Amino acid sequence: LHEELYNAEKYQIMGQLAAAISHEVRNPLTMTSGFLQMMGKESLHPETLERYRKHAIEGVDQATSIISDYLNYAKPAVEEARTIDVDEEIASLTPWIAPLAAMSDVEIQLHHQADSSLYMTGEPKKFQQCLLNLMKNAIEAMPDGGKLTITTRTENEHAVITIADTGVGMSKMQLKRIGMPFFTTKEKGTGLGLMVVVSLVHVMGGRIVFSSKRGRGTVCELRFRLNEPADGRTD
Ligand code: ADP
Ligand code: MG
């Protein structure tokens, strides 16, 4: 009974969030639609036309980033939890993140600091969504370039993943507010990325800690209980 009550509450919160998010997606799309309509007017100055076109694209981009920050979270739990190889999942994300890093002159380094592979129980898509949102934030914190270092290690029967950047960092006030729905300091931010991360990490029984220094960078530490490999491998 306890469990059911908890779930009901959770779905109510998710429903409210979905409503808020659909509103957030609709706004920029309405803007896009408006600019596209204006572009249809006759004898527009080429510069005006270009300005409208830019705004139209901006609207679509904003809607896309809201959807991509929220994507797997919004999906009901169709995935099964299984044993995943932490470093394998991280490596599978690099093709997605590399172009973004290259655009901002960010160098990505992966460090595996354990004698063997790290296994944990989790849902791969959810795990990847977490890391993707965290890596995106790290890169966005380094608009003029820097280093994104992802380290995996073990500590007290736990897999520890750190995502460290050399970016703008955060103030104490900012650190307190991150993860709240729609809290963003970015002009084109969604303020949904970390909210999604925090709830997915908790769903998978993990923990997440941020430390940051303004002008120096940010370190995010994820912690999940270690597991045996799925097929009894010991490599
Ligand atoms: P968004 O990225 O759309 O702004 P997030 O929920 O992902 O939303 O992040 C919320 C806010 O947390 C960001 O706007 C930023 O102020 C802060 N933040 C998150 N990660 C970092 C980071 N690595 N370095 C500096 N600030 C960060
Ligand atoms: Mg983000």
Cβ neighbour number for residue 107 with a 10 Å cutoff: 13
Pairing state of beta strands 207-213 and 217-225?
Answer: antiparallel
Residue 65 confidence (pLDDT) above 70: yes
Which three-class secondary structure state does DSSP give residue 4?
helix
Burial 93-103 (b: 16+ CB within 10 A, else e): beeebeeebee
**Contact between residue 150 and residue 161 where contact means Cβ atoms under 8 Å apart:** yes
Q: How far apart are CA 201 and CA 210, in angstroms?
A: 13
Q: How far apart are CA 115 and CA 132, in angstroms?
A: 25
- For 103-136, give the DSSP string: HTTEEEEEEEESSS--EEEE-HHHHHHHHHHHHH
pLDDT of residue 79: 67
pLDDT, averaged across the chain: 88
The binding-site residues of ligand 1, defined as CB within 6 angstroms of any ligand atom, are 133, 137-138, 141, 165, 167-170, 174, 178, 183-186, 189-195, 218
Q: Following CA atoms 197, 200, 205, 207 in sequence, which dihedral angle do they give, to the nearest 10 degrees?
A: 10
Residue 52 confidence (pLDDT) above 70: yes
Residues 118-137 have pLDDT tens digits of 999 998 888 998 999 999 99
pLDDT of residue 13: 62
Question: Within 13 Å of residue 103, how many CA atoms lie on the same side as its CB?
Answer: 10
Residues 172-222 have pLDDT tens digits of 999 999 988 889 999 988 888 998 898 889 888 899 999 999 999 999 999
pLDDT of residue 123: 86
**Interface ipTM above 0.95:** yes
pLDDT of residue 25: 87
Terminal-residue alpha carbon distance, the chain: 43
| Ligand 2 center to 41 CA (angstroms) | 37
Which atom from ligand 1 is nearest to the alpha carbon of 192?
A: 6
Identify how many contiguous H helices and E strands the chain contains and give both numbers. Answer: 6, 7
| Ligand 2 center to 65 CA (angstroms) | 9
Which of 171, 176, 194 has the most ligand 1 atoms within 8 A of CB, as the residue to mutate? 194
pLDDT band at 11 (very low <50, low <70, confident <90, very high): low
Cβ neighbour number for residue 2 with a 10 Å cutoff: 6
